[in-house]
């Protein structure tokens, strides 16, 4: 049976209002800061101070180099294919000319 279009609009509006009702969240801001910093220190102890940020920069660098390398490889492939096609075309043409000028059955 379901709802009519107007009823659905009303229901959607009621739910949208419900979404905007602020949630009661008594939280200890200091505790969250301590927890995050503990995780980061543990991670730094495992891999060296500031490694996280450095690895972010390294990631960026790797992606950039990889993109440029891929573009170069693609361009080289396109050029190679073009050169091969041209040379194949020429040899076919020469062969065809040879067939035209040479009698096939020796007469």
Q: Interaction with another protein in 37-96: which residues (CB under 8 A)? A: 37, 39-40, 43-44, 49-50, 52-60
Nearer residue to another protein within complex by CB, 24 or 98: 24
Helices (H), 25-50: 29-47
CA distance 59 to 65: 10
Least distance in angstroms from the C-beta of 73 to another protein = 25
**Least distance CB 80 / another protein (angstroms):** 33
SS3 23: coil
Binding flag, residue 26, another protein (CB under 8 A): no
Tokens for 101, please give them. 């000028």
């Amino acid at each position: 049976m379901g709802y009519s279009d107007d009823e659905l609009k009303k229901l959607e509006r009621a739910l949208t209002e419900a979404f905007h009702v602020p949630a009661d969240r008594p939280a200890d801001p200091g505790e969250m800061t301590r927890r995050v910093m503990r995780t980061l220190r543990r991670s730094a102890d495992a891999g060296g101070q500031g490694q996280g940020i450095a690895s972010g920069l390294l990631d960026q660098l790797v992606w950039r180099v990889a993109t440029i390398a891929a573009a170069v490889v693609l361009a080289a492939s396109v050029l190679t294919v073009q050169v091969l096609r041209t040379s194949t075309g020429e040899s076919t043409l020469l062969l065809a000319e040879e067939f035209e000028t040479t009698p096939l059955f020796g007469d």
